[in-house]
Amino acid sequence: MYYTYILYSKILNKYYTGSTSDVVKRLNEHNSGKTNFTRQSKDWKLIKHFEFESKTDALKLENKIKARGCQRFLDSLNDG
């Protein structure tokens, strides 16, 4: 399984989206400062995740979210 995930930092008031095969491990990496963008804060929370059979499909959604913006993408989920 592969996942596309959205994180949120209250301290930074920012969203982050990515994809992985292990959401829990990846969240821990973000909160321990192992990635450049998320290194700025250690309060990342998992807001939403989506499960896929293929890495390709997970990456497609990740790119769609990044192109649209996390907040707009999340708002569109609540509208429908």
- Residue 80 in this model has a pLDDT that exceeds 70: no
Give the CATH number for residue 71: 3.40.1440.10
Percentages of the chain per state (helix, strand, coil), in multiples of 5:
45, 30, 25
- Residue 71 in this model has a pLDDT that exceeds 70: yes
Mean of all residue pLDDT scores within the chain = 94
Q: How many structural domains compose the chain? A: 1
Q: 50-65, pLDDT tens digit by residue?
A: 999 999 999 999 999 9
- What is the pTM assigned to this prediction? 0.92
Q: 14-47, pLDDT tens digit by residue?
A: 999 999 999 999 999 999 988 888 888 999 999 9
Q: Could you tell me the residue range of the domain that residue 12 belongs to?
A: 2-79
